[in-house]
Amino acid sequence: MTRFHHKVHAEKQSREMFTEAAIEAAGSVDNGFDLRDADALYLGYFSSDNFEKQAHTSALMADWIGVNPIPTARIEAACASSGVAMNTGIMAIASGLYDIVIVGGVEKMRTLGTGDVTNTLAMAADASYEVAMGFTFPGLYAAMTAAHFHKYGSKWEQLTDIAIKNHENGKLNPKAQYQETIMDIALKLGARKGLTFGDEMDFLRSDLNAMVAEPLRLFDCCPISDGAATVILASEEVARKYTDTPVWIAGMGQASDTMALHDRDDLTSLKATKLASRQAYDMAGINAGDISFACVHDCFTSAEMMATEDLGFFKLGEGGKAASEGRTALDGDMPINTDGGLKAKGHPVGATGVAMVVEVFKQLRGEAGAHQLSDPRYGLAHNVGAAGATVSVQVYGR
């Protein structure tokens, strides 16, 4: 994957970022790999239309990485675009039609200002019944967060522990947008404004951590990012030709839910996460307790809290407490977002699902560098579209 950061890619289009990621993916195959040996390409890209005035991006990317005439498709499922592209790639191989599939994701977001990006992202909600009424995604997730606080007594302070932890992990990840702890940022911003902060909470309670949509503040929200990620899938027999230590796809799942939040029975949980993860566990023949670590969709800190509950790692209502107890840290019993998550690694929407797979792959191969876990057995990737109208999950093993 490329580094996730809009400033690093300011002069690049999505085609250039994707090509970088694809070349790195091919180069990382143990016994070497020529991208032209792939049989198909699936690409996640959320809104190439708005961001680059460009559609048909899977064909464009195939052209740029030189793999014509293989079949291609762009998969769009909001922020789960490349998680769903992964599932599509897995199906493509399972069908027997293809042996090797390239799955990628990309998003070039910083062609637009923050307001226009927010409006573009809002297209993933119901344009007629949510967006037209004034909702954007911080508002939708704020409503879910407030409901969770109300139902379970979870607190904003627990969410700050998630942000602090993800920035600590991001600091260890050379591909992350923010390779700084929140205290690093507090000191930097404080110096600029002539302010001093005693600790993270002192900073996070200050006006510099602006309220975005109550109770979510700026540091509860993932940033706007540019970037691309690519993985190469192969059938069991073919994978053996390329490496002695493949990472195995043990299970996958996917589910949908109502588009609009107001049609849900419960705002404190994503039904699609529960269903998709149970499908993946069943296919893998394991339980949530067998998962060693997970990359979950923390577009907001509260989304990580809810995900860790819905995936079955913690009881409903106890995700915030678990984070505050350090259980989701690198040295906890259930490390979450070891790469910094969307919060610190960044969230170029269409690339996020595959970037999670890159992290899981590296962890399972012992190649995660400074944020490497000790001997993980199963890793999970959890990608959410919009407020949970689409969720994809995969479980990977060694």
Residues belonging to the active site? 79, 347
Cα 161 from chain centroid (whole Å): 19
| Least Å from the CB of residue 291 to a second copy | 21
C-alpha pair distances (Å), 271 with each of 127, 200, 252, 355, 387? 22, 33, 16, 24, 11
136's CB contacts (< 8 A; 6+ apart) are 118, 119, 121, 122, 125
**124: Cβ–Cβ under 8 A, 6 or more apart, which residues?**
46, 78, 79, 137, 385, 386
Query: How many whole angstroms separate alpha carbon 119 and alpha carbon 49?
Result: 13
In angstroms, the CA 86 to CA 92 distance is: 10
Residue 29 or 91 with smaller CB distance to a second copy: 91
Task: State the Cα torsion 381-286-377-330 to the nearest 10°.
Answer: 60
CB 137 within 8 A of CB 299: yes
Structure-block tokens of residue 119 = 């409006």
Q: For residues 295 and 382, is the Cβ–Cβ distance under 8 A? A: yes
Bond prior to 71 in cis (omega within 30° of 0): no
Q: Based on CB atoms, which residue is closest to a second copy, 59 or 143?
A: 59
Beta-sheet pairing, 378-385 with 390-397: antiparallel
Question: What is the smallest separation between the CB atom of 64 and a second copy, expressed in angstroms?
Answer: 8
Report the nearest approach of a second copy to the CB of residue 373 (Å).
30
Pairing between β-strand 100-107 and β-strand 40-44 as defined by DSSP bridges = parallel
If the CB atoms of residues 352 and 390 are measured against a second copy, the closer one turns out to be 390
Q: Which of 323, 291, 132, 305 is closest to 216 using CA atoms?
A: 305
Nearer to a second copy, 320 or 353 (CB): 353
Contact 124, 138 (CB under 8 A): no
Secondary structure letter of residue 246 according to DSSP: P
Structure tokens at 6: 């809009």
Cβ 5 to a second copy, closest distance in Å?
22
**Residues 35 and 78: beta-carbon distance below 8 Å:** no
Nearer to a second copy, 23 or 94 (CB): 94
Which is closer to a second copy, CB of 24 or CB of 49?
Answer: 49
Closer CB to a second copy, 50 or 243, in the complex: 50
* Site residues for a second copy per CB under 8 A: 13, 41, 46-50, 52-60, 62-63, 67-78, 84, 87-88, 91-92, 94-97, 120, 123-128, 131, 254-260, 263, 271-272, 275-276, 385-386, 389-390, 392
